[in-house]
Amino acid sequence: MRITVLGKSPSWQDVDGACSGYLIQGGGQVVLLDCGPGVFAKLRKHVAYEDVDAVVISHLHADHILDLVTFASGIRYRPWPGEPPRPRLLAPPGGPEAFAQVCAGAGMTADHLELAFELSVYDPAEALALGALAVRFQPVPHYIPANAVEFAEGDARFTFGADCGPSQALCEFAAGTDLLMLEATLPEPEPPDDRGHLTALEAGEHAARAGARQLVLTHFTAELGAERIVAEARRAFDGPVSAAHEGASYDLSQ
Ligand SMILES: [Zn+2]
Ligand SMILES: [Zn+2]
């Protein structure tokens, strides 16, 4: 299984960056995890968009979904004949309604995404399979419902924390994972009654509690500095730590 970072920026993009988006290739599948602003162009550097089998959405914030509109335009309006691709789009509950509002509010038809994708709503309590990839979800604390997502091919596990505040449930979900990708959005924790993101130090603490083999920090602005956040996470986690950047890829063997 190969994981490639397409976008690691938070809700505003770095120079030449993109918001949340990750390419997962394994189990005979090409999967896009999240599709934030800028991700569609980054995707095309690595694969033809016609070859994407499925898109999985962690939660419905703008920085995780807005390039679905662009992706759908690529599918619907591409200027050559033939049957267009129809990738699956696996959305969290509320996805179809949110997508219809986004598309209608932006001058498209409300069904713009449904005309391009095979849209379905996943139940975060249920595991599912994409080819030979096993997919599991774990609800995590955020300002709106959000789900950590695990992809496993054989014994190889990749766990993506989505956007989340401190969560023991996430540590248990990710226990022993090969690659834990956690957000490191904040320079300092938010007030205790308003948690929806992590600092890099907290990401390190979560990786240590999970016993992850490797930690990759993501969803941080370049203004925070990759070296600084890696150093912060290393204060709590003594395994390998790195900061995501667009184009970085990680190979996990089964
Ligand atoms: Zn979010
Ligand atoms: Zn986000």
| Chain centroid, CA 219 distance in Å | 9
Indicate the pLDDT class of residue 197, thresholds 50, 70 and 90.
very high
- pTM for the full model? 0.98
Residues 75 and 68: their CA atoms lie apart, in Å, by 10
**Average model confidence (pLDDT) across the chain:** 97
Residue 12 Cα to ligand 2 midpoint, Å, equals 9
Residue 59 Cα to ligand 1 midpoint, Å, equals 7
* Model pLDDT for residues 114-169, shown as the tens digit of each residue: 999 999 999 999 999 999 999 999 999 999 999 999 999 999 999 999 999 999 99
The neighbouring-strand residues paired with 174 are: none
The ligand with the least distance to the CA atom of 146 is: 1
Residue 10 Cα to ligand 1 midpoint, Å, equals 9
Q: What is the pLDDT of residue 80?
A: 84
Residue 61 Cα to ligand 1 midpoint, Å, equals 5
Is the pLDDT at 254 greater than 80? The verdict is: no
Residue 48 Cα to ligand 1 midpoint, Å, equals 27
Residues 130 and 124: their CA atoms lie apart, in Å, by 15
Phi, psi of 209, rounded to the nearest 5 degrees = -65, -35
Q: What is the pLDDT of residue 82?
A: 86
Count of residues for the chain?
Answer: 254
The ligand with the least distance to the CA atom of 186 is: 2
What does the DSSP assignment read for the chain? -EEEEEE---SSPPTT--SSEEEEEETTEEEEE---TTHHHHHHTTS-GGG--EEE-SB--HHHHTHHHHHHHHHHH-SS-SPPP--EEEE-TTHHHHHHHHHHHTTS-TTHHHHHSEEEE--TTS-EEETTEEEEEEEE-SSS-EEEEEEEETTEEEEE--S----HHHHHHTTT-SEEEEE--BSSPPPGGG----BHHHHHHHHHHHT-S-EEEES--GGG-HHHHHHHHHTT--S-EEE--TT-EEE---
Residue 163 Cα to ligand 1 midpoint, Å, equals 5
* Model pLDDT for residues 154-187, shown as the tens digit of each residue: 999 999 999 999 999 999 999 999 999 999 999 9
The ligand with the least distance to the CA atom of 185 is: 2
Residue 188 Cα to ligand 1 midpoint, Å, equals 17
CB 20 within 8 A of CB 39: yes
Q: What is the pLDDT of residue 86?
A: 96
